[in-house]
Every structure is written in C-alpha cells, then in structure tokens.
C-alpha cells in the first residue's frame, strides 16, 4: 500500500469513526434540558407556539424544553445569540417571517439567517387581523382607506417592531392602497394591543391570538384577515383581497431552527418529535384556543418554504423602498 493509499484509508477510518460518534450522540440526545429562544415577549404567538409544542416534545423525548424570551430588534437579537451557539441541539430558535424581513431590510446584520440556521420544522401559522379601535369610526377596509386619504399621516398604526411581519403588513397595505399612515413600532404585540385598546393608536395588523378576545368582546373592530383565502379559524372575517386590496397576502408563521452544523440525526429526531407533538389532540386544542393552526413537515419542507418566503418578502421590502 502506498503512502497516499494509507493516508486515504486513515482518513476514511476517521470519517467513519466521526459518523459513529455523531450517531451515538443522536441516539442518546437529549441528555439535558433543551432551550428554545423566542425573540418576542411572553404571550405572543411565537411564544405560545414554542411553549405548547415544546412541552409536548419534552414529554416525547424525556427532557424538559424551556422557552426563553430575548426581546428586541424584531427577534434579531435572539437570532444572533443562537446563531453563535454550539451546534449540539441544546439551543434552538423560533424563526418567523420577521427574520426574513430583517435580512431583506438590513444587509449589515451580524448573522446570515439562511446560512447560519438549519430548519427543523414549520410549527404553526396564525391569521393576521387588521383590527382598529371603534373610536376611529371605520367598519371596513374601504372606509379606512377613505379616511387615510382624507387625512394623510393622522392615523397611527402600531407594529411589534421595525422589520417585524406586522410592520411589513402595514407597509404592504400603504403601498397597495396608496395611503399615508404613521407607523408606531413597539417591542411585541402585548404593548401594541394595550395602546390600541386605550385609543393611543388607531390600528394594528395583529396576530389573531393577540386580539380575538377583544374582537369577540366588541372592544376592537376586525376589518380583514391577510391570508389569500379566508381563515379556517376565522371564516367570518373577509380577506384583504375581498375587502378591496388586490394582491395583498401576508402569512404569519413560526418554526424551529438550529444553528448550522447541528448533526442531521439530531435535526431529524427533533423534527419527528415536533411533528408527533403537532398531531397531539391536546396540542391541537391548545393552539386552536389561541387561533393558531398546527402545520408540521420535514426539515426539507421547511427549507423550501423559507426559500419561497425569502423571495417574496425581499420583493416587498424592495418595492416599498425599506432597505437600509
């Protein structure tokens, strides 16, 4: 055997040994609690999705799944922290539309969402509801557009942060309806809803889970949902397209991802657990009570979805002139 052949054989043995170590770690994983980091406050749809599904995943895998909230910069602070974490499967991240919007708006982020994360499973989606305070005196999207055109920049709309999906839904609306509405950014849905109920702002493209109790109580007025078709959980509310804004579609989704380089067997194990959790009747009912729909799918399914969403929101950011 030549020296080159011996080196090649040694490299092959080392590679095989490495695979064996990875397989053994995946078989034992998890041997300690797993942390899931959410970039939005407790009580938001991202937080609810992670807690409900994570609790069931913990039961399936025999370890506690703990949700941590690291709020700021439309979840970019949390994403950056997880991107730099060890890729051992013990620190995960709740990804959302906001991460793709952030990447499209700000090319100077200190991480690359597409390259620095490995998709695990698309967990949930929830309708986004265009809700307004009754004191605004509008009961339809057409009336809102008319009011905004009559009094440009006087209507105040909140968002859960600059570059969040709720911000982009507002910018898309302004662009398609050709209206001027003032954007007021917050650090998550709860403070937006608090000010909306108090009348300090007039409207919000809100996750359904944040406003439906107030809609049902009559303290907020729902004008439309932003899905392309009527929502299964809110079938009585028209879509933005039906309400007279052609081309308007904005889906609010949440999934879990891991730092790039996390061993594929661990990714697959987490994905199987997440999908099993999403089929649990207890999880389904808990999510439904919050107007959240379970989704699921393979890591590759989620990767393709992220790619399609990235292309769509990059286009929205570019057409709205929001890129920094």
What's the pLDDT tens digit per position in 270-308? 999 999 999 999 999 999 988 899 999 999 999 999 999
pTM of the model: 0.81
Q: CA triplet 118, 284, 248: central angle to 5 degrees?
A: 65
Distance CA 180, CA 155 (A): 8
Q: Determine what percent of the chain is predicted with pLDDT higher than 90.
A: 71
DSSP string over 132-190: E-GGG---SHHHHHHHHHHSTT-SEEEESSTTSHHHHHHHHHHHHHT---EEEE-SSHH
pLDDT for the residue 165: 84
Q: How far is the C-alpha of 319 from the C-alpha of 219, rounded, in Å? A: 35
Question: Which residues does the chain have with pLDDT short of 70?
Answer: 1-25, 324
- Nearest-angstrom CA–CA distance, 321 and 324: 9
C-alpha span between 144 and 148 (Å, rounded): 6
pLDDT of residue 18: 52
Distance, CA of 71 to CA of 261 (rounded, Å): 25
Hey, what are 111's tokens? 């991480």
Tokens matching residue 170: 């507002």
Whether 255 contacts 49, CB under 8 Å: no
Question: Quick one: pLDDT at residue 1?
Answer: 58
Quick one: pLDDT at residue 13? 63
Q: What is the pLDDT of residue 163?
A: 78
Nearest to 209 by CA among 225, 198, 229: 225
Identify the DSSP state of 34. E
For 91-115, letters b (16+ CB in 10 Å) and e give: bbbbbbbbbbbbbbbbeebebebee
């Amino acid at each position: 055997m030549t020296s080159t052949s011996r080196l090649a054989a040694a490299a092959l043995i080392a590679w095989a040994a490495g695979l064996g170590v990875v397989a053994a770690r995946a078989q034992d994983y998890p041997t300690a609690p797993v942390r899931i980091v959410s970039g939005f406050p407790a009580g938001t749809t991202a937080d609810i999705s992670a807690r409900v599904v994570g609790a069931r995943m913990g039961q399936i895998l025999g370890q506690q799944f703990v949700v941590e909230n690291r709020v700021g910069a439309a979840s970019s602070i949390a994403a950056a922290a997880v991107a730099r974490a060890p890729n051992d499967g013990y620190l995960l991240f709740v990804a959302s539309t906001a991460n793709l919007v952030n990447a499209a708006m700000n090319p100077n982020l200190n991480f690359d969402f597409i390259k620095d994360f490995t998709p695990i499973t698309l967990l949930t989606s929830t309708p986004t509801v265009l809700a307004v305070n009754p004191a605004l005196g509008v009961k339809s999207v057409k009336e809102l557009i008319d009011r905004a055109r009559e009094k440009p920049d006087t209507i105040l709309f909140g968002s859960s942060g600059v570059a969040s999906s709720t911000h982009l839904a507002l910018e898309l609306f302004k662009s398609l309806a050709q209206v001027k509405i003032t954007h007021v950014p917050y650090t998550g849905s709860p403070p937006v809803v608090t000010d909306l109920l108090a009348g300090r702002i007039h409207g919000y493209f809100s996750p359904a889970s944040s406003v439906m109790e107030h809609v049902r109580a009559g303290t907020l007025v729902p004008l439309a949902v932003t899905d392309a078709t009527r929502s299964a959980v809110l079938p009585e509310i028209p879509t933005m397209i039906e309400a007279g804004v052609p081309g308007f579609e904005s889906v609010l989704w949440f999934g879990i991802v891991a730092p790039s380089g996390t061993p594929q067997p661990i990714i697959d194990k987490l994905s199987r657990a997440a999908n099993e959790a999403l089929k649990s009747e207890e999880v389904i009912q808990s999510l439904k009570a919050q107007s959240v729909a379970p989704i699921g799918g393979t890591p590759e399914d989620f990767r393709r979805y992220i790619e399609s969403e990235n292309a769509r929101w990059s286009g929205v950011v570019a057409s709205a002139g929001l890129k920094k």
